Structure 1
């Protein structure tokens, strides 16, 4: 198995907890009742959609956890863009563990490949501009590391991984602090290096920069306002457009000159890819 490691993600623990959820205290009663213990299967996992692949090492880990001797031939790699009908993985091994692991492996591949595929479509729309696509923290609890991995496979960059790696001052923080300037001043005084400040009005830009913002998130601004904001910032800090970005609007937003565009729907709303697994007894 290809080594797979993500920061703040334990693959073995993820596989174990997923199986614990699916098998409960008794196990796969259907396979145990219907499939002989020594029966062997050959299987082919394939994509019924054109997709960007993500999750191959995860799927492999599920099969190997129940049958360490299973033979797996990975035919593609994460990040590959493949047409509908592409074979992704071939498996040969004991039938019972293969059937037991099937759904967990497919769920992971379908979800992560769906995210990677949607991400690649957004990246394609901003090709040729200076803008870079970012994901957000709008992830399923417990799956952030995997979902953000999938956006990388689709060509995006990760925004904050959590609340710990950068300050992001939003409207509620400003409301409590009293002003953008005061909120940023407090973050600077706390010794925080990365200070992202959300602004939704042009008159908030200079106070944020003067107080020490290192990145401006231009929230829900129409394209003309974004152009004006980018001109005002004049490359003093990176600029990021955010809020309501769709596949149909992202190209126009990118042409305003922003450095980044963040899209929550990459992880929040990506449809699962159609991936199947067909078995035959041997």
Structure 2
């Protein structure tokens, strides 16, 4: 089977930790053909199908020069056995438009994972609102006064933009309210942009747990991303330390409930973030941590994923 990965440029992959690379490696091990393109290389015009200017690649096994381009071609997406949308956030207008092109490709017969409509319907910060009983106190608003009122009630809060990734743009404001006004102005831009505000969860010191859910089934280990030094963010991109650990009973409860909802909607892979006993985000664009969990526990996450991929394709 030939697989097309719609992703960031292959040249920027950090193969020692990249999840998309681990998917490609497992697929290649099974004999599947690997193709890659970027969202900017998708194209549709009247009288034709959605196509991509893409490259067929072979993995070399070298850590640095890790792939060789064997062929370049313009091909309809429907000509592949499967199309994996693995473009990293931000979920901006161009990402949104790419999902529409991918959905058109589906109408033409392409099989896309995760489903484009499901990607649009589950923005990663806001998807948790469907599960209010699984989350901590949360506010989503463009109203600066509502943010101040939320802080007055909860005293210690986290503010974050809706389109960030890797911990970008996250602020903590404690009981003294220091810099709250300035932070609101920075994120809210005078009421022009919506922000998410959540009660600070002190359990973050034990880690922001990434729980992977594949076709509705949780991977039995999470990656607890633990803040280092004076940093409040556990994100690996922000310097957090990743420690794999078995799922707790509560972790599994959350993952199973959310997975049962997401899988039938075409979200083959989701990354649920949990602090303490509370879900904080649902990541569906390009969830990561395959390699860290596999390396630390021996549980083969890429195998579990490609097994599921082969079932749905």
- Common fold, TM-score beyond 0.5? no
TM-score grouping bracket, smaller chain normalisation: under 0.3
Higher helix share: 1
**Structure with bigger gyration radius:** 1
Q: Which has the higher strand share?
A: 2
TM-score (norm 2): 0.25
